[in-house]
């Protein structure tokens, strides 16, 4: 939580830049949850580096509220594929869905 205050929407840094800048401050055993609409694949490598340094990392890819064109859907599929290859656990939050839905599904699996 100590770095959360430093990150905000609308900044001038990309997600990749923010991750690279934050990497040295995170310690083994820390956890990072990335929630982003970014389809820029450049942040996959720094996210993978977190995982490789024993930092728990998960990503939630958020779809925009308006229908994306086929090119954006293809970019999203490619990004999800790269995250899977990098072994970064990822969830996709569809437009209009509540983030609680992601946790509800996890909770149901745990309760079973």
Domain of residue 14, CATH code: 3.40.50
Q: Find tokens 């923010």 and name the residue.
A: 18
Domain count, the chain: 1
For helices 70-85 and 44-52, the axis angle rounded to 10 degrees is 20
pTM above 0.85, yes or no: no
Q: Which residues constitute the domain of residue 23?
A: 4-111
Q: What is the mean pLDDT of residues 18-42?
A: 89
Q: Tell me, what's the pLDDT at 27?
A: 87
State yes or no: pLDDT of 5 exceeds 70.
no
- Distance, in Å, from the CA atom of 108 to the CA atom of 112, rounded to the nearest integer, reads 6
pLDDT band with cut points at 50, 70 and 90 for residue 110: very low
- Kindly report each contact of residues 17-24 with a partner whose C-beta sits within 8 Å and lies 24 or more positions away, as own/partner: 19/43, 19/46, 19/47, 19/50, 20/46, 23/49, 23/50, 23/53
- Tell me the average pLDDT of the chain: 82
For residue 53 the two structure tokens come to 């340094």
């Amino acid at each position: 939580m100590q770095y959360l205050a430093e990150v905000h929407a609308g900044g001038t840094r990309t997600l990749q830049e923010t991750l690279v800048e934050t990497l040295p401050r995170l310690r083994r055993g820390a956890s990072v949850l990335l929630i982003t609409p970014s389809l820029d694949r450049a942040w996959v490598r720094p996210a993978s580096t977190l995982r490789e340094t024993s930092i728990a990392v998960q990503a939630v890819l958020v779809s925009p509220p308006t229908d994306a064109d086929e090119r954006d859907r293809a970019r999203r599929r490619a990004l999800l594929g790269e995250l899977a290859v990098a072994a970064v656990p990822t969830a996709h939050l569809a437009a209009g869905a509540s983030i609680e839905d992601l946790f509800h599904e996890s909770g149901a699996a745990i309760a079973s």
